[in-house]
Amino acid sequence: MASLSSYLLVGAVLFSLGLYGVVTRRNGVAVLMGVELILNAANVNFLAFARFGGMNMAGHVYALFVIVLAAAEAAVALAIIINIFNNFNTINVDEVSELKQ
């Protein structure tokens, strides 16, 4: 049986991957996926703590909330990216740079 720290390690790895993705990816959708990784890293942590801490259900509840909100956020973000694509014909975030020209 894996210990708490291994779950946390998975969380940390996910988190780092997410960060990496957010920082390096140019594609808007890919960046969003990085964000999702970060959120899920947190979720892993929540669940792990809830499971191994012998604690109440708060962690699980939290994770559920996060999933729902992440979905909502993703929906909005994708809507915006679609709109961007309509206007700019690209979803490369670096090319979306009208401001401060």
Shortest gap between Cβ of 1 and other proteins (angstroms)?
Answer: 18
Q: Which is nearer to other proteins, 2 or 61 (CB)?
A: 61
What residue type is 23 in one-letter code?
V
Cα–Cα distance, 43 to 14 (Å, whole number) = 10
Q: Which is nearer to other proteins, 9 or 66 (CB)?
A: 66
Cβ count near 40 (within 10 Å): 20
Shortest gap between Cβ of 7 and other proteins (angstroms)?
Answer: 10
Cβ count near 46 (within 10 Å): 20
| Binding region for other proteins (CB under 8 A) | 8, 11, 15, 18-20, 22-24, 26, 28, 31-32, 34-35, 38-39, 41-43, 45-46, 48-49, 53, 55-56, 58-59, 61-62, 65-66, 69, 72-73, 76-77, 80-81, 83-84, 87-88, 93-100
The C-alpha angle with vertex 21 and arms to 50 and 88, in degrees rounded to 5, equals 125
Name the residue among 61, 45, 63 with its Cα closest to residue 53: 45
Q: Which is nearer to other proteins, 3 or 97 (CB)?
A: 97
